[in-house]
Chain A
Amino acid sequence: MSGPGSEEGTTGGGTTGHAPGATGPADRARTPDGHAPNGAPRQPGRTTSGTPDHAPEPAGPAADSAPGTSGTDRAVERRLHPVTPLRRAWAPVAVLVGWAVHDPDQAQRQLTRLTTTHLLIGLAVLIPAAALYGFLTWWFTHYAVTDTELRIRTGLLFRRTAHIRLERIQAIDVTQPLLARVAGVAKLKLDVIGTGKKDELAFLGADEARALRAELLARAAGFAPETAHEVGEAPARQLLRVPPGVLAVSLLLTGATWGTLLAAVVVPTLLWLATHNLWTVLATALPLVGAAGASSAGRFVGEYDWTVAESPDGLRIDHGLLDRAHETVPPGRVQTVRIVEPLLWRRRRWVRVELDVAGSSNSVLLPVAPREIAESVVARVLPGVTVPTELSRPPRRAARCRPLWWRGHGLAVTDAVFAARHGLLRRSLALVPHAKVQSVRLTQGPWRRALRLADVHVDTGANKTVAARLRDAGEAAELLRSQAERSRTGRRDAPPDRWMA
């Protein structure tokens, strides 16, 4: 009924050849590819105000006599891509494998007793069971987009419905693991504060996922629900693309890469010399080699072809060699930006930029970029912010509190951001827009008090705390007061949640 394949005909015919740009504001253009952004059939009761593509609508009701279209505000429920059961079907097999790994001796003994007939019977039971499980989970998972929320209904025995408020979206990710790319499907995940991993739509057809993302963003931006699924993808303007060569060099210049590699070589060798026990060596070497691989080759593959683009719907980040990920962070969702400068990158003036969005696990904005470009990107991410260059150091007596490292600390407060730096070798400058500050704290231990020093912590909604450490006590007290004031007033000029409204 509501499988993606069946509607392709009805809506595909309805949207071909419409005049672009008739409904949306001037700065949003529709996708020229003519793909229907919403796979659902049109609802007959809806009024779409005088748009050119309204013309084929009368033909609609005949075609979409689906049961979901009865009420005007009742959203159409859709299912995930039919390929999904295959992914779920692995669960029983995984359980079996897990048991075998967990208890190898027992598994071995059982295996020797098996005959071909046993095996065949087992397979004959297991495969249909797995298929049934996969099919049922797929059959009982529905999602629907309403005017204000995305609903995900799952569960066969234990029913669960997630209602995700669209104006509270912090980020939308469309990811395609390697196998999903082969199958032409994608995962769509909405980052809302407090959502779990369950609240992702896996899998959708790749085109459908993009269309759904466009529609969700359009609705979240505040477009009228009638027009939301015709707005299409907002045009993106590429800001930066990281060349693979630069990425490779940057990873070669990272201490962590060499540290893990060194550990992977040295520790097993030493262990071999000490114990001459192959199993001990293997047991330590494998995780170490894995870590080394993840921190070098894994990062290269994950951060390959890193592209940052800007669109009216916010920031778009695309990356990955094998697994592709497309992240969208709507405007005004970034809570903290960190500019990290490892020691070995300093000569090349390269930096890494990380960002925190509430409820999201993504944290990298730019894996590597020249400082000037990174600063211009930061200025796009946090509008009206210039990265402060002059930071005030803690007073000299702070050296008695934290010898040498006190020089790494710095603080700058501009009209737009609270910026605090820490680290001596690997410098990290954190920027918090005043509007994103949730609370301000001043802490002072006995040793700091003796030296008339204090720390000021600024808490943000992404559960990150930025601290300006080792400030003069008087200055810190003044900073506490003024920062509370700034964070309160800073909110007034912040863009609304529905950024297009």
Chain B
Amino acid sequence: METGSPDDTGTAGATEAAAPREAAGPSGPARREPVWTGLPPGLLRMRRLLLVVWLGLLAVAAGLLPALFLEPVWAALAFLPLALLGWGWVMLERNWRSWRYAERADDLLISRGVLWREETVVPYGRMQLVEVTSGPVERHFGLASVQLHTAAAATDATIPGLDPAEAERLRDRLTELGEARSAGL
């Protein structure tokens, strides 16, 4: 039972996102890099749509209202939300690309963040409960998120925007592994 030995899972929609980050990767003895799985594009699509809807509304409001009540020149204010939209469009993709997770033999890895990077390792044995949640908007886009809870509240291990089938598979697998390796406090 060697850690770091990747499992046969995690192929669905795998983006080959930036392999080993640090140069110090292969220094561990006989340690293979984990197989990372990215998020399906549905999440990006949903977030972008929400961005377009909200900022589009804002742009229309910013374009129309000042122009009606003040000079027409003020319609130029609409460019502000539009610029924000363009920036957000790119940012959302960068953020989405940065999310990835890996199921290893004994623990789950979650890596995320572009500027503020965070990488979390949760040993399966420490899992207290696994939660699959899906809000109305998420459901419409066929998405679900999986959240892991350990006894430590600081553990923030959430994988958003998964395919419901994948989320359920992950939940079942995590629960099964958690039971097999249960360790408690």
The residues of A with any CB-CB pair to B shorter than 8 Å are 193, 333, 335, 358, 435-446, 449, 457, 459-461, 463, 465, 473-475, 477-478, 480-485, 487-488, 491, 494, 497
Residue of A nearest to B184 (CB): A497
Which stretch, B10-18, B131-139, B148-156, touches the partner chain A?
A: B148-156
Contact in complex: B22, A446 (CB < 8 Å)? no
Interface residues of B in 113-136 (CB under 8 A from A): 115-123, 125-126
Contacts A358-B185, A459-B150 known; A439 to B122 CB distance under 8 Å?
A: yes
- How many angstroms from the CA of A451 to the CA of B30 in the assembled complex? 29
Contacts A459-B155, A460-B152 known; A439 to B120 CB distance under 8 Å?
A: yes
Query: A residues within 8 A CB of B151?
Result: 193, 358, 438, 461
Number of A-B contacts (CB under 8 A): 108
Residue of A nearest to B20 (CB): A477
10 shortest interchain CB distances as A-B pairs: A474-B24, A459-B152, A461-B151, A438-B152, A484-B121, A439-B155, A438-B150, A459-B154, A442-B119, A477-B22
Residue of A nearest to B155 (CB): A439
- How many angstroms from the CA of A438 to the CA of B24 in the assembled complex? 25
Contact in complex: A441, B22 (CB < 8 Å)? no
Contacts A461-B152, A465-B152, A488-B107 known; A442 to B118 CB distance under 8 Å?
A: yes
Query: A residues within 8 A CB of B106?
Result: 485, 488
Query: B residues within 8 A CB of A358?
Result: 151, 185
* B146 is an interface residue with CB less than 8 A from chain A: no
Produce 1/0 per residue, B150-185, CB < 8 A to A.
111111110000000000000000000000010111
- How many angstroms from the CA of A328 to the CA of B151 in the assembled complex? 22
With an 8 Å Cβ cutoff, the count of chain B residues facing the other chain is 35
Query: B residues within 8 A CB of A483?
Result: 121
The residues of B with any CB-CB pair to A shorter than 8 Å are 3-4, 21-25, 27-28, 31, 106-107, 115-123, 125-126, 150-157, 181, 183-185
- How many angstroms from the CA of A491 to the CA of B125 in the assembled complex? 9
Query: A residues within 8 A CB of B122?
Result: 438-439
Query: A residues within 8 A CB of B153?
Result: 463
- How many angstroms from the CA of A488 to the CA of B126 in the assembled complex? 9
Q: Can you list 30 A-B contacts with CB-CB less than 8 angstroms, sorted by A residue number? A: A333-B185, A335-B185, A438-B152, A438-B155, A439-B122, A439-B154, A439-B155, A441-B121, A442-B117, A443-B116, A444-B116, A446-B116, A463-B152, A473-B24, A474-B24, A474-B27, A477-B21, A477-B22, A477-B25, A477-B119, A480-B121, A481-B3, A481-B121, A482-B28, A484-B123, A485-B106, A487-B126, A488-B125, A491-B125, A497-B184
- How many angstroms from the CA of A457 to the CA of B151 in the assembled complex? 15
- How many angstroms from the CA of A459 to the CA of B127 in the assembled complex? 13
Q: Beyond the given A438-B150, A444-B117, could you list 7 further A-B residue pairs with CB under 8 A, ordered by the A residue number? A: A333-B185, A335-B185, A440-B120, A443-B116, A444-B116, A481-B3, A482-B28
Nearest CB of B to A494, in Å: 8
Residue of A nearest to B27 (CB): A478
Contact in complex: B22, A474 (CB < 8 Å)? yes
Contact of B119 among A435, A441, A459 (CB under 8 A): A441
Query: A residues within 8 A CB of B107?
Result: 484, 488
